[in-house]
């Protein structure tokens, strides 16, 4: 469950040894830990139990609030709130089903009557393989999305499904109760939607390999919410304390050195040290130095030429010089003959 580092080295010696080693960071594959906060509604629980998860914790709202008070929310990668609303926004990406999240990113201002789907973002990961046309919503919430919110599914009376960002974490909000106020439980797409939502929030930004940065960019890491004692170790061994930052989005920069950067932290409650790596590659321009085509010195331009290159050389100065030498020789011979010397 640790990052793998793939290193490729050029064994032939050259004049620039710093670019002879390349590294790539491969994050470990991970199964998600999901928390379901529900008033014991079996359908949502059965759907979540059918997903391939590392762990599913089912709890009531009272149990969840008790856990939050102990600051143990970092145990979950995704939270699902089924027809309940927490007292404050959670510290993990969350799915809100039928209840307005406690945030100013979205604002509910009333109830809506029956409506059908008008438009859906078919290319959005949440709606992959989901047939939304047969969905009918008997009752829902009238919601005003914030500036950073994205409406994924639009109904005839307002947004039905949207995503928004709060404190650096992305959340999914379904503005109607899919169990009590729609025909979605009778359709195949509801289980697919929940699977897409959990995968989208839990693996958002994950890739087969971690993207490589170049010097001058900012290093950004998303760590578990219970990460503490965060520090960054640069390739030259210098250490930077980042404990005052939010673990949801740790940023440091600009990056000054190429090489492997290690972000160390400790999981609260566990005491285990964990390392997160980022490989910073040397800019290709510095690995391929070339001579300038010309150099400007004041008002003079000096063009560069390759070694051994042929170019035009004027011969008239040499011819004039030879003529002057011949004239001097003739003048000397003439003066010797007439006896001037």
Question: 157-214: per-residue pLDDT in tens?
Answer: 899 999 999 987 899 999 999 999 999 999 989 999 999 999 999 876 555 556 667 8
How far from 222 is each of 92, 144, 150, CA to CA, in Å? 11, 29, 21
| Residue 113 confidence (pLDDT) | 86
How far from 257 is each of 5, 238, 287, CA to CA, in Å? 18, 11, 14
- Which of 56-70, 105-119, 125-139, 201-215 bottoms out in mean pLDDT, i.e. has the lowest? 201-215
Query: Collapsing DSSP states into helix, strand and coil, what is residue 198?
Result: helix
Is it the case that residue 320 has pLDDT exceeding 60? Answer: yes
- Which of 71-75, 102-106, 177-181 bottoms out in mean pLDDT, i.e. has the lowest? 71-75
| Residue 308 confidence (pLDDT) | 59
**What's the pTM?**
0.62
**In this structure, which topology does domain 4-26+211-286 adopt according to CATH?**
Immunoglobulin-like (2.60.40)
| Residue 311 confidence (pLDDT) | 64
Cross-strand pairs, 275:
264
β-strands 227-233, 78-82: how paired?
unpaired
Q: Is pLDDT larger for residue 223 or for residue 2? A: 223
Give DSSP secondary structure letters for 69-99: HTT-GGG-SEEEEES---SS--SS-EEEESS
All structural domains of the chain with their residue ranges:
4-26+211-286, 33-202
| Residue 317 confidence (pLDDT) | 87
| CA neighbours closer than 13 Å in the CB half-sphere of residue 169 | 22
In angstroms, the CA 164 to CA 174 distance is 11
How far from 136 is each of 42, 128, 139, 180, CA to CA, in Å? 21, 19, 9, 12
How far from 155 is each of 43, 87, 118, CA to CA, in Å? 24, 28, 5
In angstroms, the CA 264 to CA 274 distance is 6
Is it the case that residue 284 has pLDDT exceeding 80? Answer: no
Are the C-beta atoms of 266 and 228 separated by less than 8 Å? Answer: yes
33-202 belongs to which CATH class? alpha beta
């Amino acid at each position: 469950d640790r990052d793998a580092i793939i290193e490729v080295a050029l064994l032939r010696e050259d004049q620039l040894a710093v670019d002879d080693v390349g590294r790539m960071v491969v994050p470990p594959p991970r199964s998600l830990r999901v928390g379901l906060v529900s008033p014991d509604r079996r359908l949502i629980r059965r759907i979540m139990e059918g997903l391939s998860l590392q762990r599913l914790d089912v709890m009531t709202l009272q149990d969840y609030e008790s856990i939050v008070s102990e600051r143990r929310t970092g145990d979950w990668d995704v939270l699902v709130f089924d027809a309940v609303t927490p007292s404050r926004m959670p510290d993990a990406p969350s799915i809100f089903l039928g209840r307005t999240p406690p945030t100013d990113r979205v604002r509910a201002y009333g109830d809506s009557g029956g409506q059908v789907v008008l438009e859906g973002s078919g290319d959005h990961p949440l709606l992959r393989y989901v047939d939304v046309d047969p969905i009918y919503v008997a009752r829902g919430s009238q919601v005003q999305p914030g500036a950073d919110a994205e409406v994924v599914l639009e109904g005839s009376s307002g947004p039905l499904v949207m995503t928004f960002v709060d404190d650096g974490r992305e959340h999914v909000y379904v503005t109607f109760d899919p169990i009590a106020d729609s025909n979605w439980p009778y359709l195949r797409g509801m289980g697919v939607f929940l699977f897409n939502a959990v995968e989208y929030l839990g693996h958002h930004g994950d890739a087969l390999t971690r993207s490589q940065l170049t010097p001058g960019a900012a290093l950004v890491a998303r760590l578990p919410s219970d990460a503490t004692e965060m520090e960054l170790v640069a390739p030259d061994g210098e250490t930077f304390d980042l404990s005052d930052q939010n673990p949801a989005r740790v940023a440091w920069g600009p990056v000054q050195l190429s090489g492997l950067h290690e972000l160390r932290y400790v999981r609260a409650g566990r005491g285990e040290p964990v390392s997160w790596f980022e490989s910073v590659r040397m800019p290709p321009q510095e690995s391929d130095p070339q001579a300038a085509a010309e150099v400007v010195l004041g008002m003079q331009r000096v063009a560069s030429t390759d070694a051994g290159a042929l170019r035009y050389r004027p011969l008239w100065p040499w011819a004039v010089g030879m003529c002057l030498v011949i004239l001097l020789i003739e003048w000397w011979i003439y003066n010797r003959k007439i006896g001037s010397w």
